[in-house]
Structure 1
């Protein structure tokens, strides 16, 4: 193989700090309208925390759950609510033992032009409320919804 044609790296796109903070604010706006206090986590494409906030009345466990939802969404480029179906497959089920895998609705990959630039995780409402808040916040800021 010639080193002239060998690509040795690829650019890694990441959500900006400003966009991460804007997502946190957008989620809190939707969560307030839906009537629940939320913990909101945004990670970069590698699953590292970029922005986080927990509403005063959100239970303390929501913090960890939101971070793990964002991590799961970024790690696999897929919403967390899809994992229940995946884990029903005996070939995939062993992943359920991973301590950070969160198979509960409310985590979404953050996509720009088909590339995952981060993960969004929300906890504090029902899984339907967490999902709705994520979808509305991502749409409001112009992020692509993942095709399922």
Structure 2
């Protein structure tokens, strides 16, 4: 299964609607099953520094097939993946990266950055739900 541009746009639109609803401008990255950037939107006034973070959150989720916040739990001192965020050219191990699934298959991921991590995750989940 491949993520289509139409699906990526639907996911992004749902994420943008949620970001507007909570009043936080976001950077929204959508990647395909191969971790290639499929779509990216920077809402007006979203932080410039969050562009890279959104993309890396999506890639982190896809590289390890789990939401980025789950990687964060496993990468704390004393945990089995401690320091993993230094691999793969840099990972982001806090919430905001969510897998995109169709049935049992993973077709990509969405990464969102611009608010606090709870807001980022909420917006990413809203986008993923649109798939």
- TM, length-normalised to structure 1: 0.82
Give the drift of 1:105. 0.7
Q: Which has the higher contact order (CA 8 A, sep 6+)?
A: 2
Look up the match of 1:45: 33
Counterparts of residues 93-112 of structure 1 (less than 5 Å) = 93-98=82-87, 99-112=89-102
1-structure distance, mates of 2:93, 2:34: 19
Which stretch has the larger CA shift, 30-39 or 81-90?
81-90
Aligned residues: 129
Ranges in structure 1 where 5+ consecutive residues have no aligned partner = 1-12, 144-148
Instruction: Name the larger-Rg structure.
Output: 1
Ranges in structure 2 where 5+ consecutive residues have no aligned partner = none
Q: Does 1:34 align with 2:51?
A: no
Secondary structure of 1:41's counterpart equals strand
Q: Which of the residues 100, 103, 107 maps onto 1:117?
A: 107
Give the drift of 1:94. 3.5
Q: Which runs of 4+ in 1 moved over 4 A?
A: none
Give the drift of 1:114. 1.3
Residues 67-86 of structure 1, C-alpha deviation per residue, up to 9 Å, x if partnerless? 00111111111111112211
RMSD: 1.3
- TM, length-normalised to structure 2: 0.92
2-structure distance, mates of 1:33, 1:124: 14
